[in-house]
A and B are shown apart, each in its own frame.
Chain A
C-alpha cells in the first residue's frame, strides 16, 4: 500500500495536480507515526510512511493546509472521510484546494494496547490473519489481533468513503457495528455505579487537552477552556470528579457533529474511554431525534441546529432507564 501511495503522490506532484502532499512520517519509535507534509518526490522517498500504526486522521490539518497556496493531496481512510465531509459542511476546509485519494483500511494497531500486555521494546509488527507478530528487542511475541487493535477499529462503523477524488483499491460498505454496547451497559447500571465508573475514569485526566486538540470537530480558534478566568483551564490539584465540566462540555460542543472517528480516545495518554461520552450523545440523538450520522453528507441539518415542534420534553430523562 505504501508503495502505491508514494507512486500516486509522485505522479500527481509531477503533473502539477498538487503542490504538496500530506501524509505521515515516522517519529522516534516505530509506532510513532505522525502527520507530515511532503513537497517533493525525494521527500516522499525519504520519509513517507503508511503502515499498521498509521492511524492519525489528517482531516483537521486540512483546515489550515487548504488555505495555503496551491492544491494539497491527502490520503483518507473511510472514517477520515466522514470528518472531512463534516468540515466541508461547516465551511472549514476549502474543497477546491484538496485532492483526496481514498485508501482502504482494515484496522490499525494500538501500541499502547500491545504494551499493556507486557510487550515492550517494539521493533515492528506484522499482521497475519487473526494474530499479530510483534518483533521486540527481546524476541518475537505473538498475540491475538483483537488484543492489539485500536478500540475504534474494533467497532468500526463504516468502510465506505463518503468523499474522494479517486480511490486506491475497492470501496467498502457501512457496517452494522456494536459500538453502542458499552454505552448501553453503562445505562443499565445504577446512578451510584455510573458515578463511580466515571469518577475513576475522569479523575485520571491530566488535562493535557490532547483529546480536544486532535478532534476534527473541535476546530474553534479560541476555546472556552483556554480562558484563565474560568478557573477550570488547568488540572485540579485534587483527586475527585473535578474535570467533569471539561469532559461534559467537550463532548457537548461536538454533539451532532462528532463523526465517531475515535481520535480522542486514541490519543488520550491516560486511556480514558472518551468515545463513551460521544457515543452517548450519538445514541441519544439517534433515538430521540432520528438516525443521524455526522459527516455522511454535506447538506443535512445537524440535530442541534434543528428542531421539531413535536420533540420530547427534557422530562424524558427522568422517566426512562435506571436510576
Chain B
C-alpha cells in the first residue's frame, strides 16, 4: 500500500455521530478542551443505523478522504437495537469496499459514549493520522460531484 509522505496534506474527515452518544462525547471533549483535528467534519445523525451506505459513498464522492461512523456501544442504543443493525451493514459495506480495492483505513466504526470525551478526541486523532498517511482519496471520488 502506498504511503503518503506529504506532511502538509490535510485530509477531510467526515464523522457521522449519533446524537445520543458520540455527538455528546464530541461536546464533552470540547468542554474539556481536548484537542482533535479541525479536519473532522461532524454530521449529527439520530442513530448510527440512520447512516445509509449511500451517505458514506456520497461523502467520498464529494471529496472526503476518510469516513468514520460513531455510535453507542452495543447494548446501549437509545432505540434498543439500531447499532446492531448498523454493525452488520457497515461490516458488509466495508468488506465490499475492500473487495473493490479501496484502502481499508479510510473507513472505521467506533463506539463512543456520551461520557467518553477522551476516547472521542483520541479516536479522531488516530483516524485522521491514518488517513493522512494514505493521502487524498482518489479511488472513490467522482468528478461529477466535485465542488469547484
Interface residues of A (CB under 8 A from B): 186-187, 191-199, 224, 231-232, 236, 238, 240-242, 244-245, 248-249, 251-252, 255, 277, 280-281, 284-285, 288-289, 303-309, 311-318, 321, 323
Main secondary structure of the interface of A (DSSP, over half): helix
- Check B98–A252 contact: CB distance below 8 A: no
When distances are taken between beta carbons in the complex, the residues of chain B under 8 Å from A321 are 98
Q: A232-B142, A242-B142, A289-B88 given as contacts; is B95 within 8 A of A249 (CB)?
A: no
- Check B100–A307 contact: CB distance below 8 A: no
Kindly supply a per-residue 1/0 record for chain B positions 56-71, scoring 1 wherever the CB is within 8 Å of any chain A CB and 0 otherwise. 0110010000000000
Kindly supply a per-residue 1/0 record for chain B positions 123-148, scoring 1 wherever the CB is within 8 Å of any chain A CB and 0 otherwise. 00000000000000001101111000
Q: How many residues of B contact A (CB 8 A)?
A: 39
Kindly supply a per-residue 1/0 record for chain B positions 84-105, scoring 1 wherever the CB is within 8 Å of any chain A CB and 0 otherwise. 1101111111111111111111
- Check A245–B61 contact: CB distance below 8 A: yes
B81 in the interface, Cβ–Cβ < 8 Å? Answer: yes
Q: When A and B form their complex, which 9 residue pairs have the shortest distance between CB atoms, in order from nearest?
A: A195-B101, A194-B101, A307-B84, A314-B109, A317-B94, A314-B91, A314-B90, A191-B101, A245-B57
When distances are taken between beta carbons in the complex, the residues of chain B under 8 Å from A199 are 101
B3 in the interface, Cβ–Cβ < 8 Å? Answer: no
Q: Which of A193, A238, A251 is the one whose CB lies under 8 Å from B143?
A: A238
- Check A307–B101 contact: CB distance below 8 A: no
When distances are taken between beta carbons in the complex, the residues of chain B under 8 Å from A248 are 53, 57, 93, 96-97, 100
8 new A-B pairs (CB below 8 Å) besides A255-B92, A303-B88? A191-B1, A231-B142, A242-B143, A304-B85, A313-B109, A314-B109, A318-B105, A321-B98
Q: Shortest CB–CB separation between residue A322 and chain B, in angstroms?
A: 9
Bound-state Cα–Cα, A238 to B138, Å: 14
Instruction: With CB as the reference atom, state the residue of chain A lying closest to B146.
Output: A231
When distances are taken between beta carbons in the complex, the residues of chain A under 8 Å from B107 are 314
- Check A284–B54 contact: CB distance below 8 A: no
When distances are taken between beta carbons in the complex, the residues of chain B under 8 Å from A284 are 91-92, 95
Bound-state Cα–Cα, A196 to B100, Å: 9
Q: A240-B143, A249-B57 given as contacts; is B92 within 8 A of A285 (CB)?
A: yes
Task: Tell me the B1-36 residues at the A interface (CB within 8 Å).
Answer: 1
Q: A317-B104, A323-B1 given as contacts; is B91 within 8 A of A280 (CB)?
A: no
Q: Which of A186, A192, A231, A281 is the one whose CB lies under 8 Å from B92?
A: A281
Bound-state Cα–Cα, A255 to B139, Å: 23
Q: Shortest CB–CB separation between residue A3 and chain B, in angstroms?
A: 46
Q: Shortest CB–CB separation between residue B104 and chain A, in angstroms?
A: 5
When distances are taken between beta carbons in the complex, the residues of chain A under 8 Å from B103 are 191
Q: Which of A236, A244, A309 is the one whose CB lies under 8 Å from B84?
A: A309
Q: Shortest CB–CB separation between residue A202 and chain B, in angstroms?
A: 8
- Check A195–B90 contact: CB distance below 8 A: no
In the complex, 27 of the A-B residue pairs with CB atoms within 8 angstroms, ordered by the A residue number, are: A191-B101, A193-B101, A198-B101, A199-B101, A238-B143, A241-B140, A242-B142, A245-B58, A248-B97, A249-B54, A277-B96, A280-B96, A303-B88, A304-B88, A305-B85, A307-B85, A307-B88, A309-B84, A311-B91, A313-B87, A313-B109, A314-B87, A315-B109, A316-B91, A317-B91, A317-B104, A318-B105
When distances are taken between beta carbons in the complex, the residues of chain A under 8 Å from B74 are 309
Bound-state Cα–Cα, A251 to B101, Å: 16
Bound-state Cα–Cα, A236 to B143, Å: 8
- Check A195–B94 contact: CB distance below 8 A: no
Q: Which of B87, B104, B139 is the one whose CB lies under 8 Å from A318?
A: B104
- Check A236–B92 contact: CB distance below 8 A: no
